[in-house]
Structure 1
Amino acid sequence: MKILFTLESFFPTHRAGTEVYVLNLCNYFKAKGHDVSVLITSSEGLKDYSYEGIPIHVFDIPKHAIAEELNGLMPPRGIEAFKVKLLELQPDLIHFHSFGRAINSYHLKEAKALGIRTVFTPHLGSLFCINGDMRLYGKANCNGEVIESRCLSCNLKQKGYSVHLSKILGPIIHKATHFNPIENKLPAAFYQAKHRFSELKRINQYADVIFSIAPWIQKAFEANGVTKAQLIPQGISPVFFKAFHKTQFDPKLIKFVFIGRTHSSKGLHILRDAWNALSNPNAELHIITNPSGGEQTYYDDHKQWAQSKTNIIWNEALKQEEVASYLNGMDVLILPSISNEVAPLVILEAATRKIPVIASDYVAMKDLIQHDMDGLLFKNEDDEDLKNQIYQIIESPNLIGKYSKAIKKTHSMNQVAEIIEVKFKELFNYTK
């Protein structure tokens, strides 16, 4: 089978959770004898290359997006180059991973029109939420149902309008975008919610298979009438299941660890404020991170902060094997993400070492952590609440053992890939 995995970026320049997920799938299917390659975008003139023996194909997109394509009023520019690549590569199956500025359901539709089997797996909550945070009016977790007037109101609230005024303006804007005499004269940003609704309809129409890698994603698909979605486990790299030796726990020096990109959506600034408020010397914070595009100042500020503290250890660009080894010496994972999480790999990676997690109560984390049973949750964006949860662990280190015993076994990406392979073969009526 000739399989093409498609996403906006890939190793070695981008190495976030989605890229790791796709790399693991590539390695599995390649080992199974399938013809595997990856298709990504570039606005910098990047040429086709190879990564760990995997062919990486590239199609060009403009350096800067325009409002019309961001809000679905036109297909993303670069879609013609995408079609050229598909005609050149002639894959049997194309597996899309998340949609964004450069690749979205317009590309899915084009692939389907060429007779290619189509599969889609989202890795970001922004598929359902125009704010990207899955938080209704910034106060509570949203169920992900795209109700255009409500989404527009919620977006206006995020922009600084009062809740009362936002709830008045949202339905007005919604009606205007569906009123033919003026719809082409409105600002493109007014169409954000309409675009999300249309994206989901195209996904349901043109994807042969849709995978949900978290229960909340499956529920959100169902709330939006996407009938083809099916829930599968989230999986992590096989390297985390190799034999390891966990360092003996020392209650006199509890080692907390943050793992994630240095991006504001990961909430490192929340952790910084909480950590600064701590006065207990019996704790260390270890940070394993990578810079994130577009937030250089955020990265510089936090690296400087970390290096100014004697109880913070900063690490960059660790390979998966190095992260797995590093976790052997850690006691508690802190994941203060504000938004854009689906089923965080790092929680599952820590679970292989029975490491409990302190995480925000963002919808994706609530799928994986039961408060005060196998970890702790704090109110999203509330550094005071995070500080209190950290203190709870420091003052009662026996909680670490209690939570560790309740942590459930997680899946290897090889196990998940086996499930995906079965679905792939069903699309071609394979009998073996």
Structure 2
Amino acid sequence: MKIVISVHHFPPDRIGGAELRAFDMAMWLMQMGHEVRVVTVRNLEKDEQSGIRWSDEEYQGIPVRRLTLVLPSNDKLRFVSLYDNPLIEENLRKYLEAFQPDVFHMVSGYLLGAGAVRAAKSLGIPVTITLTDFWFICPRINMLKSDGSISNKDEFNPETCARCLLAEKRRFQLVYSLFSSPGVSELRQWIEHRLVSQKVVDDLAEQVEQRYITLMGVLDSADSLIFPSRYLLSVCKTRGVTPEKMVYIPHGIHTIGEVQRASLTQPPIRVGYLGQVEHHKGVHLLIEAFLKAASAQDMRLSLFGSSSSNQDYQHKIELLARQDDRIELRGGYSISEIPEILSKLDVVVIPSLWNEIGPLVMFEALRSKVPVIASNIPNMSYEIQDGINGLLFEVGNEDALADILSMLAQHPEKLDGMSRNIQPVRTLEQEMEEIQQIYRQKAG
């Protein structure tokens, strides 16, 4: 079969969960004899007029078309172009028409959006979408409000979304830095309502509603929708997505290069974080908890991850890390380095503040017999059995995480016990066999 996979970014430019998922899929399909190509976005630029450039390259034997999107400086036009870009549609239609794939498989939807799906459908190509986040229903992708709380999964409120997006504007940042504690939330809301007129809110709410209508239509137009998360599936079902198109296929992990954790024989305990350095990932929470842990002198914390696009947040992380020489910022890493990194850790922490869609690093850690400490949010709490193969703490509660780290510092033998309890994880082969069956059904 001839298959095109689209994803917002692709290695080696950036490495995140969706990027790794698309790479693993492409490699497996090629090994099975399929002809695979990848379409992705390399850069976003801003100018008076929209534009698009591209280059056709190859990464580890995979043909990759990398797009550079030039977004209009006008706020309203830029907002639309980030989910429904006619230049992407035109570019992809020509690309797909020349290649004539049997299947178009979109991973996530972010950046390539409605235009990419419309291009495939216009040529009669079956479309499969794997939803790896909340992008189709949330402009911020993560269903987190501007105050850090989790949005209501059961309802869509355009005005709430609009105010959330407006809070990202620079004028609101000082307000949030001064009035971030729960006790002054009413005062913060009062100030917010006076920083922006209701007309501005209403205009943006209208744009948000149109986005929602458009992207719900995209999901409805797809031939199949793959959900690696039962929680995300339930959210989309509540929002009215066609149930007959929805299928739950949990993540699988490739077993090539597997290196298992060595038993903890002596201090220090090696604590690690792997992933994006972003606020919603809770990296600051982990560092603050580590600094608070009263008994953590025999611990070391290593943070592996690409620098954040949010330079203010990156600077905050650097300042926090400088407070203790036991904390090390290791920077980005390649896909091939993951097994070796995990082999040198005793425990991995996933302190996310949002409803992760089954983070791949969790499965990678479990595959390597490394216990996981995670926020007690859906998807992660389904996989991590508290006290059995890892530990759970209340999402956003740095004191609870600090207590766990202190406990492990005093009782490091618990990590070996949890490591022995870890059961074999689902493999990439198992996942891809199910996806391949969907391809066959839809491509006829």
How far off its partner does 1:222 sit? 1.7
Match of 2:253 among 236, 239, 243: 236
Match of 1:209 among 196, 208, 224: 224
Question: What is the CA–CA distance in structure 2 between the aligned matches of 1:382 and 1:222, rounded to whole Å?
Answer: 30
Question: What is the CA–CA distance in structure 2 between the aligned matches of 1:59 and 1:414, rounded to whole Å?
Answer: 30
Q: Does 1:290 align with 2:306?
A: yes
CA spacing shift, 1:200–1:374, aligned 2, 3 Å: farther
Q: Does 1:404 align with 2:419?
A: yes
Q: Does 1:265 align with 2:280?
A: yes
Name the counterpart of 2:96.
86
Question: What is the CA–CA distance in structure 2 between the aligned matches of 1:59 and 1:333, rounded to whole Å?
Answer: 34
Amino acid corresponding to residue 212 of structure 2 in structure 1:
R
Question: What is the CA–CA distance in structure 2 between the aligned matches of 1:192 and 1:309, rounded to whole Å?
Answer: 43
Q: Deviations over 1:256-279 (max 9, x none)?
A: 111112222221111121122224
Name the counterpart of 1:37.
37
Question: What is the CA–CA distance in structure 1 between the aligned matches of 2:91 and 2:355, rounded to whole Å?
Answer: 28
Q: Deviations over 1:132-159 (max 9, x none)?
A: 4435796875563343368548848977
The answer for unaligned runs of 5 or more in structure 1 is 177-181
Question: What is the CA–CA distance in structure 2 between the aligned matches of 1:304 and 1:137, rounded to whole Å?
Answer: 23
Name the counterpart of 2:49.
none
Name the counterpart of 2:335.
320
CA spacing shift, 1:131–1:26, aligned 2, 3 Å: closer
Amino acid corresponding to residue 233 of structure 2 in structure 1:
Q
CA spacing shift, 1:91–1:146, aligned 2, 3 Å: farther
Name the counterpart of 2:21.
21
Q: Where does 1:311-390 land on structure 2 (aligned, <5 Å)?
A: 311-339=326-354, 341-390=356-405
Question: What is the CA–CA distance in structure 1 between the aligned matches of 2:83 and 2:264, rounded to whole Å?
Answer: 56
Amino acid corresponding to residue 11 of structure 1 in structure 2:
P
User: Normalising to structure 1: TM-score of the pair?
Assistant: 0.83
CA spacing shift, 1:146–1:2, aligned 2, 3 Å: farther
How far off its partner does 1:391 sit? 1.7
CA spacing shift, 1:132–1:340, aligned 2, 3 Å: farther
Percent identity, please. 22
Question: What is the CA–CA distance in structure 1 between the aligned matches of 2:100 and 2:355, rounded to whole Å?
Answer: 33
CA spacing shift, 1:163–1:112, aligned 2, 3 Å: farther
Amino acid corresponding to residue 114 of structure 2 in structure 1:
S
Question: What is the CA–CA distance in structure 2 between the aligned matches of 1:358 and 1:286, rounded to whole Å?
Answer: 14
User: Normalising to structure 2: TM-score of the pair?
Assistant: 0.81
Q: Deviations over 1:175-211 (max 9, x none)?
A: x9xxxxx99x95235432552354123312x111110
How far off its partner does 1:304 sit? 5.9
Amino acid corresponding to residue 31 of structure 1 in structure 2:
Q
Amino acid corresponding to residue 285 of structure 1 in structure 2:
L
Q: Does 1:281 align with 2:281?
A: no
Residues 335, 358 of structure 1: 8 Å contact kept: yes
Name the SS for the 1:192 alignment partner.
helix
Over aligned residues, Cα RMSD in angstroms?
3.4
Question: What is the CA–CA distance in structure 2 between the aligned matches of 1:155 and 1:255, rounded to whole Å?
Answer: 38
Name the counterpart of 1:75.
84
Name the counterpart of 2:50.
none
Q: Where does 1:129-168 land on structure 2 (aligned, <5 Å)?
A: 129-134=138-143, 144-148=153-157, 152=161, 155=164, 162=186
CA spacing shift, 1:131–1:33, aligned 2, 3 Å: closer
Q: Does 1:52 align with 2:68?
A: no
Match of 2:428 among 388, 413, 429: 413
Name the counterpart of 1:179.
none
Name the SS for the 2:317 alignment partner.
helix
Name the counterpart of 2:12.
12
Residues 146, 197 of structure 1: 8 Å contact kept: no
The answer for unaligned runs of 5 or more in structure 2 is 46-52, 177-184
Q: Deviations over 1:212-250 (max 9, x none)?
A: 01111121122122211100121223335x3x4532213
CA spacing shift, 1:24–1:109, aligned 2, 3 Å: same
Question: What is the CA–CA distance in structure 1 between the aligned matches of 2:160 and 2:119, rounded to whole Å?
Answer: 28
CA spacing shift, 1:157–1:405, aligned 2, 3 Å: farther
Residues 59, 78 of structure 1: 8 Å contact kept: no
Residues 334, 358 of structure 1: 8 Å contact kept: yes
Amino acid corresponding to residue 188 of structure 1 in structure 2:
L
How far off its partner does 1:26 sit? 0.8
Name the counterpart of 2:48.
none
Figure out how many residues of one structure are paired with residues of the other and give that number. Answer: 411
Question: What is the CA–CA distance in structure 2 between the aligned matches of 1:136 and 1:366, rounded to whole Å?
Answer: 22
